[in-house]
Amino acid sequence: MKRTKAASKKEENEENQKEVEMALLALRRINMYRKMEKELYFNEIKEIVQHHKEHHNLTQLSYQSAWQVLIEGFCIDKSLEEVIVNELHFSSEAAREILELLKCIDWKRKEEENGRREVQMIKKWLNMIYEFFRSFTLRNEELAELMRSLIQLSRAAKGNNLVISNQCFSLLGSAAEKRNVKIDDLLKSGAIIAVLEEMKQSTLKDDIIQECLNLFYAILRRLKKEEEDEIEEAKRQIVKMELHEKMEEEGYEDAIAGFHKIIL
């Protein structure tokens, strides 16, 4: 509780800022997602994220920790989705943070010199994005921006960090499977072009080929399902009208009036 209150302080002096950062790191590591404790910490963490977006007062690691608390907490409490998606704008923030971290990495240098800390932070953002795609159902216009950042990351990591590159394509495939991700978003983000470019490479690894194919299969399944849904909806409307006409013929006017909203 004491650490949670420390995290809510907004003074800009160095001592209080260290308290905030230590509190966020501690909150990330402890299991505090029971219903009673959510009421104690959630509003403070939300305010910290909002304050950082305006003043950029946190380190990248602390800001990431705040988001980890919120994203992992969402898996327990679905009521947080509206806040995380549309109020705090996770998609845009994750995209921006990934690109900022990417600027600090020199892939040509030795691993211990090329921004190892930033690489690890990027991996944590990718894990959060996985949870985001897996659990969230709301549509928003920022998903294309998030997918564009994954494409930029995959291109930068190509030939240097296969784990990250593969994970980016895996996440794009996961996004393609989600009904809340519009196929138009996949087109706008350049995901399909990126996959086609990747598949042209003669040295492409089998696992990356599989991730690329998964994305195309997901899109084809989506298109087929949407077509089937349209057909099914047309069939349902026909059945409803036939039922309505039959009830009229049989003289069930009262029933028609009672169920008017259902059968029309």
Q: Worst-scoring range by mean pLDDT, 59-68, 137-146, 242-251? A: 242-251
Q: Count other Cβ atoms within 10 Å, centred on residue 187.
A: 13
The whole-number pLDDT of residue 152 equals 94
CB neighbour list of residue 125: distance below 8 Å, 6 or more residues apart: 64, 94, 97, 98, 101
Strands, DSSP E only, in 194-260?
none
The whole-number pLDDT of residue 120 equals 92
CA 251 vs CA 196, 241, 255, 258, 261: distances in Å: 61, 15, 9, 13, 18
The whole-number pLDDT of residue 174 equals 87
Here the tokens at position 93 are 């923030």
Q: Worst-scoring range by mean pLDDT, 81-90, 134-143, 155-164, 228-237? A: 228-237
173-200 tens-digit pLDDT: 888 888 788 888 888 888 888 877 877 7
Higher pLDDT, 2 or 27: 27
**Mean pLDDT taken over the chain:** 76
Per-residue pLDDT averaged across 36-64, rounded?
Answer: 82
Higher pLDDT, 38 or 50: 50
Higher pLDDT, 48 or 26: 48
The whole-number pLDDT of residue 87 equals 92
Higher pLDDT, 126 or 69: 126
CB 183 within 8 A of CB 144: no
In one letter, which amino acid is 165? S
The whole-number pLDDT of residue 243 equals 53
| Cα–Cα distance measured from residue 177 to residue 215, given in angstroms and rounded to the nearest whole number | 8
- How wide is the angle at C-alpha 150 spanned by C-alphas 145 and 151, nearest 5°? 95
